[in-house]
Chain A
Amino acid sequence: MFYRATLREGSLQLTLEGDWLAGELGQIEASLYDLTLSSCSTIEIGTAPDLRLELSGAWLLYDFIERWRTQGISISYPQGVPPTLQLVTETLSANRSDFIEPEKNFRPVTAIGRNVVDQGRAVRAGLAFVGELLSRFTRGLFSPRHWRPTSIVRHVYDTGITAVPIVSLIAFLISVIIAYMGAQQLRQFGADIFVVDLVTVGVLRELGVLLTAIIVAGRSGSAFAAEIGAMKLNQEIDALDATGVQPIEVLILPRLIGLIIALPLLTVIADVVGVLGGALLCHLLLDMPLVQYFQRAEESIAAWTFWVGIIKAPVFAVLIAMAGTYRGLQVRGSSRELGRLTTVAVVQAIFLVILADALFAVLFMEIGI
């Protein structure tokens, strides 16, 4: 199908024919293995008029010819060397087996060392970022010319206002879950009324702000990292820098300030919806009059309960914005990096938020509020 072979006085005449195309390589290879070469010392390679010897086919032929040569068979071309075979031979014969393996050998000590150094560098780079951000922030604070109200407003809208529906829905559902679970347990003691304490204190102190921060970390932390990362890949950050505009000032600070404004506001909305959701469930499930719910709520909420929650929001906002923008700035080279660092940004933002929340809990306990 791919050649005709005739054996004459120890010399094999191989006339190539048909389509030697990339898609046929497997079949051509199999049929070439069928050749019996035991009794021949030379192979004469000729071509039929209908031969279509494309590059991949020529490579396979070249591969076999090299093998035949090492078996001591001499090759000749009475009709001349086919041009594609000539091209392959010229390209490859200069340095046949110089294929460079990618470095694979694993040295544990080297790997540990490299990791330690990399981690150290990462910490230093992170600190440098925080430092630069802080110095720009304080410098910008005293020169209103560098405030970018339009940009800040855009980020308040993107991170805050567009998040209102999902934040409200989740706050509502969470308060319903708490009230429902609480009612089931407390009913056994006849202490139904304490469901109100559970919902209001739980939502205001902890859950309202924590869940809002986690949602915002997922929404906006990833958006920050992806936006800035794509700009980095597109050299837009370099372009800004070269224009004499500080990327930190125009890209990072507005996002940071925007989120510091948006997150506390979102938290207030989550608190309100959460408390109202609790009221609705108590009314429907426990047949508690709404007036009684709010009276009880007023008694259970101390002066600090609301503020203990809301005070954490700006801190969480700073952590989310910094994780997102910092990871975005680290993107270089490939689109896979963009995906990886966006993931890192979100995971890190959520982790930092929960860690900070734990520290706040200890702090508030120590100072007794």
Chain B
Amino acid sequence: MRSDRSELGLNAEAPAVQATGVVNRFGAQIVHDGLDLTVNRGEIFGIVGGSGSGKSVLLNTILGLRRPQAGEVRIFGIDLNALNTAQLRIAKQLYGVTFQAGALFSSLTVLQNIQLPMLEHLKLSARALEELAMLKLKLVGLPVEAAHKYPAQLSGGMIKRAALARALALDPPLLMLDEPTSGLDPISAAAFDELLVGLQRELALTVIMITHDLDSIFRTCNRVGVIVERRLVADELAKIVDHPHPWVQAYFHGDRARRFGAIHGT
């Protein structure tokens, strides 16, 4: 794989993700208009924004699932849209993704879900395949009994964890999570955040996380980007809360946020 990856022209210095001048349109509706984004290596970057502000569209653009009308996106210095099919196959091993509803393959067990990317991309012995998948399963804190369950038999929190395990299947340096704690109770959400921060530290991952959850942002993120008026305003967490834009103010300092502050004493 080393030789494969070197073919892509990975840049050791480049930021994990760099988007410049991204424009996304659906017919007459403009979602992003000259959006810039830089995610540095080794940080947890939160993306927030109102419903319909184009967070998931941005994620799909970064993933290379959607080609923007203008602008470019580079992951570790490479432009996914400029690669051929064979290169793209290798490049997509650079990131792991979890989708909002988990998107586990419903006809496969949890273990098979984790093994699927490995089977597609790696040549492993049956034992290595089994044990590595079990390692990933335990790493995300799932009980071993969950290995042979089907997604329909799992709770919401377990689905999120199983999706994370599948995203980690190929040891990617970059993780992208779409609302990883939505639909979880606050305690499960906190446990998930703790797990994420731990994994990020131990495995030196770069994480991009779309979320609505203020608690989650304060627990995990180093930097936060807010999508306002079709662009992204990004800064360190301590500074972004003072950004003058009304939506940002309402988000971090509205009634809801004040209540949060009163409880947490910040």
Contact = CB atoms under 8 A, between A and B. Distances in A.
Nearest to A83: B202
A334 B154 CA distance: 12
Nearest to A340: B107
Interface string B99-134: 000000011010000000010011111001011101
A55 B145 CA distance: 22
A36 to B, nearest CB: 23
Interface in A24-47: 24-26, 29
Interface residues of A, number: 33
Given A22-B122, A24-B1, A55 B150 contact: no
A22 B135 contact: no
B4 interface: yes
B137 to A, nearest CB: 10
A92 interface: yes
B152 A332 contact: yes
Contacts of B131: 59, 63, 99
B107 A335 contact: yes
B97 interface: no
Main secondary structure of the interface of A (DSSP, over half): helix
B128 A54 contact: no
B151 interface: yes
Contact of A24 (B2, B130, B148, B152): B2
Interface size grouping (class) on chain B: 20 to 34
Contacts of B121: 22-23
Nearest to A52: B2
Interface of B: 1-2, 4, 106-107, 109, 118, 121-125, 128, 130-132, 134-136, 138-139, 144-145, 147-148, 150-153, 168, 170-171, 202-203
A336 interface: yes
A153 B144 CA distance: 52
A60 interface: yes
B174 to A, nearest CB: 13
Contacts of A334: 106-107, 150-152
A22 B118 contact: yes
Given A100-B147, A335-B107, A87 B203 contact: yes
Nearest to A101: B148
Given A22-B122, A92-B135, A336-B107, A98 B152 contact: no
